[in-house]
Chains A and B, each alone.
Chain A
Amino acid sequence: MPGCLKIKDVHVTFEAGTINENHVLKGIDFEADASDFITVIGGNGAGKSTLLNTIAGVYEADAGHIEIDEIDVTRTPEHKRAKLIGRVFQDPKMGTATRMTIEENLAIATKRGQKRGLRFGLSAADREFYKEQVALLDLGLEDRMTMDMGLLSGGQRQAITLLMATIVEPKLLLLDEHTAALDPKTAEQVLGLTQKLVTEKKLTTFMITHNMQDALRYGNRLIMLHNGKIVVDLKGEEKKLATMEDLMQLFRQNSQTELKDDALLLS
């Protein structure tokens, strides 16, 4: 089923008309098929976060079109697009309300895209359901459902945020370096959880990462951004068989600039 996400010639410029004008996305053309798991790589400032934020509606595209599941969302405000999109951020603090409990956070996420009213936010049945869902994370948090989110570790928060992003099935899951702030072992766990959720629910997913190994290991498709453009797009067998050397090679070819600092990409 093709056409889950269509991006047509999208441009984004920050502070247009000032001396700080910064043309960050310079014509992004992209189509993702349903249940594509796309890893996104590229140097610092290439525009990866900006691309995901523009898909999510944090920034509005200056030109071009964005369609999610055949719905044109180019001018749809962020909170309305949220119905279609689940997100996890780099900073574990960003994904949850820290002064609310685990179950309250999940209750907010469950209502994403629905009308909220003066009903109680948590019923006994809701509590039971969230407890079961959290138990599946295998972090032992199911007995601490009324604990404030702010008391959890970064990895625990990212796991809960992942659950929040997927508890109502989104059309798109956007992950912006969501394991970058975690220690290697925790990062590995959260990536495993990501893989599990994405495969089980067949979610169309974008995952930005600075870790080339992860970019190769996860997903069925890989794109590389450079200077606000998609310069590499590997799918199918090509993606499966790609090696680190291939990626470096592709980067050199496509960006037409010598990669000055390989560490930048490998970091």
Chain B
Amino acid sequence: MDILITAISQGLLWALMAIGVYLTYRILHIADLTAEGSFPLGAAISSSLIVQGFNAIVSTLIAGASGLAAGLITGLLYTKFKIPALISGILTMTALYSINLRLMGQANISLLGRETVFALFEDLGLASNLIPIAIGLVAVSIIIFILFLFFRTEIGYILRSTGDNEEMSRAQGVDTDKAKVMGIMIANSLIALSGALVAQNNGFADISMGVGTIVIGLASVTIGEVLFGNLSLAKRLMCVVLGSVVYRMIIALAINLNMNPNDLRLVTAVILAVVLTAPSLKDKLNKRAMGK
């Protein structure tokens, strides 16, 4: 039971990151590796601020804002300097490693006994293992609601159309470069926010906690899609959250089966490979079934 609760809370907190990956990967059709740097950036900034005595909520929001800056750098490298998106993300992610180290002053910051957002809510009398789930649910609901509204605005439309059809967008007067930068910024802001919450939930920030972020994000996105299919935008975002939770359950299961924690990344990669092939496999099976 405890494992299940941990998996759900982890899944919810990481889901914000997965939603960020969804924005770049599925809406803008860009593979953005900035995530590997912006996730620990959010952790580093929020943790350092909390350790210095800043309010946890404010620190978390500042962490989210730092993600905007990280996204801006990648976006400009990609659009203004015409560096391929993949490389732009790698450049920012690499630079962020040093920046994160500087921010933290060391490879690891402990948050034990500090006033994290989770500690703030303990005073309200919730069972301590349910707090991360509550906060995760609230955060995810707010973000999905905001995105749901945003993608129905004029600016939301051009973000979607830019990812969908760049030529058409420019022909309709859309500054597609600007739209891409904006999308990458929003995505990395969510990823940094996720990093901040995960660090506070884990009780520490670590310089290497970003390793594998993008694969986890992609796994969550595709698990959601494979399990729940093609739906309207808001529902698809909810599926990303479910995908993130399911992913955590699979990992929890793997640990429960006494798998060596060092092998978990291998497991993640295999999961992603499997879910990525699932749609075409489904397709083939369907065709075969129809042929008969």
Contact = CB atoms under 8 A, between A and B. Distances in A.
Interface of A: 56, 58, 78-80, 82-83, 85, 87, 89, 93-100, 104-105, 107-109, 111-114, 116-122, 164
Given A96-B165, A99-B164, A100-B164, A121 B172 contact: no
B153 A83 contact: no
Interface residues of B, number: 22
B176 A79 contact: yes
13 contacts: A82-B170, A82-B171, A82-B173, A82-B174, A83-B173, A93-B165, A94-B167, A97-B160, A97-B165, A97-B169, A104-B160, A108-B161, A108-B174
B160 A100 contact: yes
A107 B168 contact: no
B170 A119 contact: no
A116 B168 contact: no
Interface of B is mostly: helix
A164 B172 CA distance: 9
A80 B173 CA distance: 6
Given A79-B176, A112-B173, A121-B154, A94 B168 contact: yes
Interface centre among B157, B165, B173, B175 (most CB of A within 10 A): B173
A79 B173 contact: yes
Interface in B139-176: 150, 152-158, 160-161, 164-165, 167-176
Given A117-B155, A118-B155, A121-B153, A96 B168 contact: yes
Contact of A56 (B152, B155, B156, B171): B171
A175 to B, nearest CB: 12
A109 B160 CA distance: 14
Interface string B167-190: 111111111100000000000000
Contact of B158 (A98, A99, A108): A108
Nearest to A117: B154
Given A108-B157, A118-B153, 19 more contacts: A58-B170, A79-B169, A79-B176, A82-B171, A83-B173, A89-B167, A94-B168, A97-B161, A97-B165, A98-B165, A99-B160, A109-B172, A116-B158, A117-B155, A118-B150, A119-B153, A120-B152, A120-B153, A121-B157
